[in-house]
Structure 1
């Protein structure tokens, strides 16, 4: 039974259930790693601070995936005595596992916060978010840690929780959830895309959340941009949210069109955007649909709708004095790549370059032969089906084009170095077509 497309969609739906907290003094804490993308969407929707609450599972020595307890920041510990008794694990073995996991926990805290202080919780309402709860061991420890750090009220919020765990869950004052199925063997069974979240992605989301509330942080203080703002873009009868980052007098600006189930907060697109900005280009990350529109799956795959939205946002951008005169590029991912090519093929548009990452250019249909912008198609070598789709679509392009294959990469480019290769290819392509010579 699949309930969610990915963690971004799950977070947005969960945020709707938490709207009653709007305006209160709350802090959202994501449980790394997978809980943080969900928590990011909740914090963004409620416009409140985001931090992590780091806990680690204590696995049975001979079967590490089977939890016998968990530990958290501040020395918090929870041991499931019934599991210990059932498996015959000794006190010495429990202590050894805890000591090893405590070292890993402390290292992860440092990697994720990267020198930033933990957000104060004293007297505040804390919303602890994970991507799902199976046994509840880590969630209970997280609740205990939040109370130890001074939280006045603790709310556990998850997209899905096992019904048996919900009935026995302790530690939280309230539990908010979207589903509590009786049949539950793994959180991942309820997601179409349950790909692993990395520490780098978590750290990037924390930086982005801090920037949303307070402006540029120390992490990006070296980026002396004239414009670094959240924007609202009126299109038709709706308003689209975006993030605009422009250097002074940008020679070119790249608009990002994300794929189905993703958003302007996509860590992968943000990574590429940062690399492009460092190369001297402006970037605009924005949502093609409103949160309400995304609930209709027909909108997510309506390429003409998405393409028209992208074209309209392009007109909005080029009308801004701080972006006027710069060349425009599109970076599209998955179905967003089809929208980018559809918009680039719109008569009268002047797009200087298009880059597609793991895209579905075939969905642009009859617009492909109309595209005049130089187009780079980037596909993972292990993404066999999409690779063949791109090869076929390439035959219909009449513009300058190239198919670049990243060896061994899958659809989301999660392999070590794969996303870096995408960024390098994109920078080279946009630099050649958007930046002035030299």
Structure 2
């Protein structure tokens, strides 16, 4: 098996900016046929409800049932899966859930109010969503960790009802996924998937209630459906391929770094793994480790394609320049594999999650560190954040004027309203001004 050749860039080269832009380019345009197919499915579910869900479930998942109610799994079924999985898996899920819950409880936002000098009450009321929908991939790509990461923040936020949809092609059920749902406190589970599941959550059917927000990962059909229903419901994000960027001072074991890069490359061929270091010899050592370890990997073909097409080894002058390049990339996962990561932290402005120090493998964050693993991709960490409790809460402004406050501020509102030519606004405020 031939060695994989990794792209090499140097921040000092004259064409570095354009080379970096080419490296990061990712086409997220939706295939025209996918778009048409998804819109058809959404329309059918919106107009025909349960019957359309049954037809699409039979077509895509090869499951034939008489009613959508038969596709619902009760809490007793979830508990059965929890009891059925091996003890070490149950213990790992419960420990991860405990850490995720503990972390997210610290994000919980509270309502607040204050009074100004006129006795006017101003504030903010924080309210959880009534109902959230959680999409969980089924079949081969079944991720119980995603159930914990999506459902637990919703329950911490106070969401009354979390409804999970998960496809079970050919009736194959993943017990770890259902066990995770039991641990996370999911309220209802329907064994449906694809764009039809997104449609059912967005529009509601006779059996499946509509939700306020849809979260969770899925394939191109699910992502396209989420994009289409946004506005009818909220969504978490449209996620691109997984990414990892490692900044290393050259003193971490090259095998560790190679495996950290693999941890994202094994997701799919479009995943991106980048290493930045001021030490050219270390970049060579990591490339050697990549080729040494690649044949030992179960998903070697996927990793090989990802590394050949989208990976890069980038040489910089120093760690400050490494931080500058990282900020331009705004990675989903950023490992600071350096002696003093805390000293670098102030220089990092854009990253979904920051993993501090040589012992902090990104994989720990995927499963059990505590912070959420649903993170902004494709440079969107410049303006967005990890999934959290705040995604399942909304804020209402509170405004309560006293008589003196209405008098004083009514005069201000009157001037501004008349300046905008909105007479009814002005007179509404003026009625409350003292003579």
Q: State the TM-score, normalized to the length of structure 1.
A: 0.29
**Which structure: greater strand fraction?**
1
Between the two structures, name the one with larger relative contact order (CA 8 Å, sep ≥ 6): 2
